[in-house]
Structures are given as structure tokens and as C-alpha cells.
Structure 1
Amino acid sequence: DPGTMVASGTLKTKSGECADTGTSAPVRVVTDPLRTGDVLEDGECQQLARMLEACLSRAKRTKLHCSCVLVPEKLTRRIAGQVLRLASGEPCGLRGCILYVHLELDKGCKRLERIAYDAAVVPTFELTLVFKQDGGAWPSLRDLFFLGSCFAPTFRTVVRLSPGFRLVKKKLYSSSAGTVVEEC
């Protein structure tokens, strides 16, 4: 389903099935980035999507201090595809990329992580990825019930990401190249 949301974390439904959250699409809770059964055409795209999902999973605990991050199912794959497209004209391709991951908040952006696809290669360009939050600040009561955290003392918040994102590209080897901003 194109509108399915993926929760980044360790929560599971009893049956592993999708659960209706009152939104237009079900929510699927995943424990590992990109389930084993998911196959992407390109290995680099799959690896990058995994790196993004792992970044969100780590940020959930360390930067966002939330109990769950809900991510539209195809979002990390779409981002990985756009990053690969932006890297295609670079001297080292994706291997020369440093990716800064941010989350847009009401008061600006919060830096989540810095990702080097291949740390052994000198970076030739930087990409700044800005995730956007979904407009609904409060999860529905059905979301809370589904997550099983409604009355748990560890429950803090649920961050729901929008399908939209922004990528900003900056070349490091050319002072005249300028900056490319893409809204997706």
C-alpha cells in the first residue's frame, strides 16, 4: 500500500498484521530496517534505505526522545532513489556523499545524524536531508491503543513523518557549482 506507515522501533502487533489507526492507511510496526522479504532493484538503494531507517531508529532514542517514529512505508526508498539520482553526476558517485539527516520542527531543524556511505572515500559533495513531520501533532487514541503504550510509564510521544522531504546538495570540489534544493 502506498500510504502504509512504518513505525521505526521494537513494537510489534501480536499477529504481525497491519492495524488500522484511523488514518487513511494501516500502520505496520517493524523491528528491523527493511524486512528480509523486501527486495529492491538496486543494492546501493537498498543499503541507503537501510541506513536511513537505522538512523531514524537510533534518533528515536537519542535525539527525538520518543517512543515511536512512524514513517511512510516507501519514504526511505524514495529518498534513497533521489539521493542516487543526485549522486549520479558526481566524480565518486554515492561513495563521495556525506548525508546530514535533519527533522524539521516548529522551531527550526534538529540534526539527527551524519551518514557517510563510504567513509574510506574523501567526500566530494554533501546532501542535507530534511524529514518533515506530518501535520497531526497528536496521535489518535487508536494509534495509542495500537502502540500498546497508552498507559505505560515509558510512553512519551509518537513522531509521525510526512511523505514530503527536502534534499539540499552542496558540491565540495567546486566553488562555482552553487547549491541545489529539491522539495519532494
Structure 2
Amino acid sequence: MDHFSTEPNLHEALCMVRTCHLITMLEDCLYKAKRHKLHCSKVLVPKELTVRVAQEVLKLSSNEPCGLRGCVLYVNLEAQNKKINLGKLVYDSAVEPTFELSLLLKQDIQTWDYFRDLINRTCFPNFFQNILKLSPKFMLAKKRLYFSVAETGTDDF
């Protein structure tokens, strides 16, 4: 078997495993925040939102010294003009963090509020009040926790 023909498949498999692990971590964070921080019965997550977030996190970690293992991800939600801290995800706690990512999820209020109000007034009053719907849009900000020699502008020791 040719070594070079299997290498791309190994890289793809490793990326898939990391993506799946990140997705699980994000979903677990949302599940825990549902009752304890958001005080709702359900969180509706748009299709592929966690996949897109995980892929973007992987992309932002690709040029870091420890890669994804050096990442700390802060998950926040903007809802009703308030920012709520949902959790802190550490991909590998055995590695000293080299960068932080701040994820900002947003509540989808445009179509959901109209739909929820319409249903509540007609068929199922109070049934949908404890449901939070997330927007498919998100923001991800990166902060490095180190400085390279090139960034400091000094090369003398």
C-alpha cells in the first residue's frame, strides 16, 4: 500500500473526528445552559449551525502553535439586548492555552416571535414561551495569548 495515498485520508479522518468532538462539546454546552442559564425548556438550533462553528474553529486554530489543543472557546449568547455567558470549552486541558476564541450566538427573533405569538394566540397558549430559537448567524473573535518574535519586532536576546 502506498504511504502517500493514505495520508490525505488520514488527515480528513482526523479533521472529521475533531469536528465531531467540537460539535458534541458545543451541543453539550447548549444543553447545560438551557436550564441553568437560559431558563428555557428547549433551544432550537438551526441546521448545520454547530457544524459551521466547529469548522470555523478548526480553521482559526490551524496556524496556531498547538493547533486546536491550545484553544479555549468562550460561548456567549446575545438575547433580548443582553449578553449571556453560556460556557467555556477547553479542547485539551492538558495543554497550556495559546489562544482564545469568543463565540457569539444570537437569538433569532424576527420570524420566531411572530410565529410563536400567532400560535400562542390561537392554539397553544404558553406552550412556546419557554423555547429559544438561535439565529443561523454567529460571530467568532480570536485573541492570541502569545507573541512571536516577528510580532514583537525584536530579534536580539
Using the size of structure 1 for normalisation, the TM-score is 0.64
The gaps in structure 2 that reach 5 residues or longer are 1-13, 152-157
Comparing both structures, which one devotes a greater share of its residues to strand? Answer: 1
Change (3 A) 1:123 1:58: same
Residue 78 of structure 2 corresponds to residue 140 of structure 1: no
Larger of the two Rg values belongs to structure: 2
- Looking at secondary structure, tell me which structure has more helix per residue: 2
**Greater relative CO, 1 or 2 (CA 8 Å, sep 6+):** 2
RMSD: 2.8
Q: How many residues align?
A: 134
2:135 pairs with 1:162: yes
Aligned-residue identity in percent: 49
One-letter amino acid matched to 2:35: R
Pairing 1:61–2:73 present: no
Go from structure 1 to structure 2 and tell me whether the alpha carbon gap of 1:94 and 1:143 turns closer, same or farther (over 3 Å shift): farther
1:59–1:143 Cα change, 3 Å: farther
- Report the CA distance between 1:81 and its aligned residue: 0.1
Task: Report what 1:7 is aligned to.
Answer: none
Aligned partners of 1:139 and 1:158 also within 8 Å: no
Residue 108 of structure 1 corresponds to: 82
Calculate the TM-score normalised by the size of structure 2.
0.75
1:42 corresponds to 2:16 = yes
Structure 1: 5+ residue stretches without partners: 1-39, 178-184
4+ residue runs over 6 A deviation? 142-145
